[in-house]
Structure 1
Amino acid sequence: MSPTPRVAVAVAACGVLAILLPGWLCLLLTLAIVVATVVDGLLARRHPPRLRVDAPAIAPRGLPVAVTVRPEPPEPGLRLRLAGLPSVAVEGGEGRGVLDARVTARRRGHHRLPAPVARRTGPLRLGRWDHGGGEGPAIRVLPDYRTAHRLAIAIRSGRATTGLRRQGPLGLGTDFDHVRDYAPEDDIRQVNWRASDRLGRPMSNQRRVEADRDAVLLVDSGRLGAAPSGAGDGSLLLDRWLDAAAAVAATADALDDHVGTIAYDARIRRRLAPRRAGGDAVVRALHDLDPRPVDSDHERAFRAVGGSRRAFVLVLTDLLDEAAAGPLLAAAPVLARRHALCVAAIEEPRLRALATTAPEDEVGALAQAVAVDVRAARDAVALRLRAAGAVVLSAPPDALAATCVRAYLRAKRRVAL
């Protein structure tokens, strides 16, 4: 129980009246106010309100969802409050009569918010009582699947113009679509020699993109994934990698491809074989994955890919330096010979700004030197991976998902799968 501001005003008035009235009378009035406050609070305690909480069972990481708290039956004078958690922010967490809040989770996994609190004021408006609302809402936070689905919808809406159709065996024997300029990653068998001779520049045959291909998403959940992503929202590298994995998985569903995943550190933590319409299964398999403080065994993860069919293999990891990426560099050539290997990493905006902005003082110059060294080490790792046959992607945190989707579509368009 707690007093309302009216009690403070009434007690202050008694103090002023003590100048004009006898002291014993003012003391008696103060005592009456205290008793009335206690009685009013006890009246507010009777018949605790029943609170109804409407919250989604699942929510995407980093995006707000609506949560509503209302008493049943309605009670317009009831003050409602919903608190957050260190990893879950609540906007508009207080209201009267009905509470409409926006909840944003910064971390994936299962979260249970504190129970909502209802504050009822007694009929005399002197005392009030806080009532707990039982259990708080439980929300299962997944990677950013809304962005993933938007990308997939964009792909699906362009399906009629991309010439997608289901094919049989994998190979270059797909239907001809059109002639385009030659790209360095094109197979030599795609070159249209007649068109090249006629136009005076290399030209390639563009074939219709095949469906029924395999995509395998490898997510590094070792110590490197525990670093901040640099996006400014408290997300980790692993959070952003999982957002990108969700986007590619949703795109694979839109293209009628098979998609699976392997999450690994020193061991295989999650494994899902490629399957049709496997995007949701991939997201649910990875949604509660947390980084562990161990070095990742890339070779073990690459062996787990296996399979006789050529697949698009996306490795989401961090290219910190040649020493840390040694196992990845050693294992990449074997996988690149059998599959279309793509390695994606996040380019931290702050690191890029430090390396490309003129320093203002000695401290800034030292910071720039460190940033340049770090970027040079990452570029060296990327160069060695490309020499091994891998496609290497580097993008800011907010652009990683779209960059990975473009690489996946490019691999299909170039018949790299």
Structure 2
Amino acid sequence: MRPSRRLLRVLLAWTALGFVLFALRIVDAQSTASADMLNNTGGLADAHSLWWLCSAFLAMAMLWDFLRHRRFWKLSVVRELPHSLALGVSAQVRLEVRNGYNFPVRLDVTEMYPDNIQARDLPVSLELGPVSSRTINYPVLPIRRGEAHFGLTCLRVTTRWGLWQKQSCVGETETVKVYPNFAPIANSASIGLEHQIAQLGVHLQQRRGEGSDFHQLREFREGDSLRQIDWKATARSRKPISREYQDERDQDIVFLLDCGRRLRAKDDHISHFDHALNALLLTSYVALRQGDAVGLMSFAGEQRWLSPLKGPARINTILNQLYDLHSSTDTSDYLQAAEQFLARSRKRALVILITNAREEDVEDLAAASQLLAKKHIVMVANLRDVYLDEMLERRVSNFNSALSYCGIVDHTRRRRRVLAKLQSMGTIMTDSLPQHLHIDLVNEYFKLKRSGRL
């Protein structure tokens, strides 16, 4: 319990009035004025006595207001959180504040929200009528993945006479998971896969009934090749029948996710690591919908392993495996990661290594790629810093900007040499801006599927 601003203002004004009366009495007592002045002195004495009497009444009012509202146990709060939150996506938290007393209550409401959440419009001031409730909604913005622990709800209640404020914490602690932003997939779950991919900007090569796995027999259509015709079925039905094939299914796709210090960089409010996670999840979803199995292994930080799983519903398993995984300050050891993966995986797979490699990493990355390529198809998805492209587009206006431009050009050339060396060894390479990584990964995945290399 603490004094309210109203009480502090009253006490300040009342104390100032007391000092004024006391000062006037001292001045009058030292005066050698006439009888009229003496009468005025007596009036000041009466005013001073009245001040003390009113002070006693004020003290009793303060004590009574304090004692009768030491507890507000009939105030309660029920919090309603979303089932889960997505990184960088605003959501609403609902609070229902209930007053069980037969008199109105004025209070301020705020929350003990977690560090990985930004909350706005708090605290909220409101007045509840007798035996009533009120609903509050405030927006939250997740800024970091993982578990978000919401503490108790804090109430600062003003007593009926407005002289004191009682602070108490009510409700329950709750936890909600903050996942990577998977909204583009969740929002289009009911749309066909081909249409979803087209919306993302992925370009698929149109083919009619071609692939490596037999799918079905159907009537011959214009554009079908002669080698697709099933002559036995054609003879039986007395009309042209074509075989339709589909891309081979039941392949393993395994992601090697670099959690090292290079992926901690940020070009916007989302880090390169979070962009890599989003791309991994989208490509996993597409591969699962295509009938392939998806697994993953993280390295250069917290190590996690998930054996390849099949079925579109397995995307939830992958989400729960990754939602609280974060980048570290460790240096990436590609060769060690390749050795650990080979010790765990026996079946041939498409291995997609997501990283941000520099010139000094080329030897280690090349050795890891060669080791993996003995048994698997290897793809290195390399992230490119946005500022490199921005610096190359800036106008050179002075000597310092010219030096910066030359440095960026030299860095870009050396980076291209790294990519060219890996490509010459047979490694599939993508060099993507973080915001475009998901499109490039899905494009390369479909190219491999339709080339028959998987």
Q: Using structure 2 for the length normalisation, give the TM-score.
A: 0.71
Q: Within 2, Cα distance between the matches of 1:154 and 1:337? A: 39
Distance change (3 Å), C-alpha of 1:137 and 1:34: farther
Aligned to 1:46: 71
Equivalent pair of 1:83/1:93 in contact (CA under 8 Å): no
Aligned to 1:129: 166
Equivalent pair of 1:346/1:395 in contact (CA under 8 Å): yes
Candidates 217, 223, 246, aligned match of 2:261: 223
Candidates 88, 93, 118, aligned match of 1:89: 118
Query: Higher Cα Rg: structure 1 or 2?
Result: 2
Q: Within 2, Cα distance between the matches of 1:152 and 1:342? A: 27
Secondary structure of the 1:98 match is strand
- Residue 120, structure 1, aligned to residue 157, structure 2: yes
Aligned to 1:213: 251
Candidates 295, 306, 314, aligned match of 1:260: 295
Q: CA deviation at 1:356?
A: 2.2
Distance change (3 Å), C-alpha of 1:5 and 1:260: same
The 5 A counterparts of 1:118-197 are 118-133=155-170, 135-150=172-187, 154=191, 156=193, 158=195, 172=212
- Residue 7, structure 1, aligned to residue 7, structure 2: yes
Equivalent pair of 1:148/1:251 in contact (CA under 8 Å): no
Indicate the percent of aligned positions where both proteins have the same amino acid: 22
- Residue 349, structure 1, aligned to residue 386, structure 2: yes
Q: Within 2, Cα distance between the matches of 1:76 and 1:403? A: 58
The 5 A counterparts of 1:11-410 are 11=11, 13-14=13-14, 22-23=47-48, 25-26=50-51, 29=54, 32-33=57-58, 36-37=61-62, 39-48=64-73, 49-72=75-98, 77-95=106-124, 96=126, 97-133=134-170, 135-150=172-187, 154=191, 156=193, 158=195, 172=212, 208-225=246-263, 227-231=264-268, 233=269, 235-265=270-300, 269-277=303-311, 278-303=314-339, 304=341, 310-319=348-357, 321-336=358-373, 338-410=375-447
Alignment length (residue pairs): 383
Distance change (3 Å), C-alpha of 1:159 and 1:130: closer
What runs of 5+ residues in structure 2 fail to find an aligned partner? 22-43, 127-133, 199-203, 225-243
Q: Within 1, Cα distance between the matches of 2:63 and 2:397? A: 64
Q: Using structure 1 for the length normalisation, give the TM-score.
A: 0.77
Q: Within 2, Cα distance between the matches of 1:37 and 1:307? A: 75
Q: CA deviation at 1:16?
A: 7.2
Distance change (3 Å), C-alpha of 1:163 and 1:291: closer
Secondary structure of the 2:162 match is coil
**Aligned alpha-carbon RMSD (Å):** 3.8
Q: Within 1, Cα distance between the matches of 2:70 and 2:382? A: 57
Distance change (3 Å), C-alpha of 1:297 and 1:137: same
Q: Within 2, Cα distance between the matches of 1:408 and 1:178? A: 29
Output the amino acid matched with 2:86: P
Output the amino acid matched with 1:294: D
Q: Deviations over 1:104-151 (max 9, x none)?
A: 222222231342211211111222111112553322222223234346
Equivalent pair of 2:105/2:159 in contact (CA under 8 Å): no
Aligned to 1:203: none
Distance change (3 Å), C-alpha of 1:115 and 1:174: same
Output the amino acid matched with 1:276: K
